[in-house]
Amino acid sequence: MKTALDLDEAELNSADSDFLFKLQEHGWFSTRVFDPDKQEPDFTYSTGFFHGLGHPEIIVFSLPKQVSHDILWDLYRDIREGKVPEPGARLSGVFGNHQAVLLPVSRDFYAEHLGRSCWFYRGDNFPCLQLIWPDREGHFPWQSDFDPEFAGDQPDLTDGIWSGLTT
């Protein structure tokens, strides 16, 4: 698969070069996207998980920048060590005592949410999973008892999988 690593240096600006340098140095890169007007929730996503580990990229919403980055680092290390999380299964240890779930992101959302990864992979031919966190009581957004205070914090980027989930 061709990636931005195959581009000639003359085709790169300084931000692109810095991005590729850090990705090669660490194995992946974290991109943070925020809306200063708070029309949309902030989010962070990886680039390089698929390239280096053969694992889908990961996107997570509405967590502080450093928390998001640290969680992605922990997941990267786990995957590199062979502890590969199963999409759709409950994951322990990501958010302390609460579980998390990884669900496939629909390619319909790639252009809007995964721009840097699309640039790196030269299109949308890579998988991505959304890391979904529960509310304070451990309920997920698709559950009826999910705290409405957090209702807009994690958009459903799946192909409608949330509507069929109950647990």
Quote the pTM value: 0.95
d(CA 65, CA 43): 8
d(CA 149, CA 78): 31
> In a structure prediction context, what are the per-residue pLDDT tens digits for the chain, which is 167 residues long?
899 999 999 999 999 999 999 999 999 999 999 987 778 899 999 999 999 999 999 999 999 999 999 999 999 999 999 999 999 999 998 988 889 999 999 999 999 999 999 999 999 999 999 999 999 999 999 999 999 999 999 999 999 888 667 65
DSSP structure string for the chain: ---GGGS-GGG--HHHHHHHHHHHHHS-EEEEE--TT-SS--EEEEESHHHHHS--EEEEESS-HHHHHHHHHHHHHHHHTT-PPPTTSEEEEEETTEEEEEEEPPGGGHHHH-HHHHHHHTSS-S-EEEEE---TTS--TTSTTS-GGGTTSS---SSSGGGG---
- Written as six digits, the tokens of 41 are 């929730």
Provide φ and ψ at 18, rounded to 5°: -65, -45
Domain residue spans in the chain? 4-160
Provide φ and ψ at 50, rounded to 5°: -70, -40
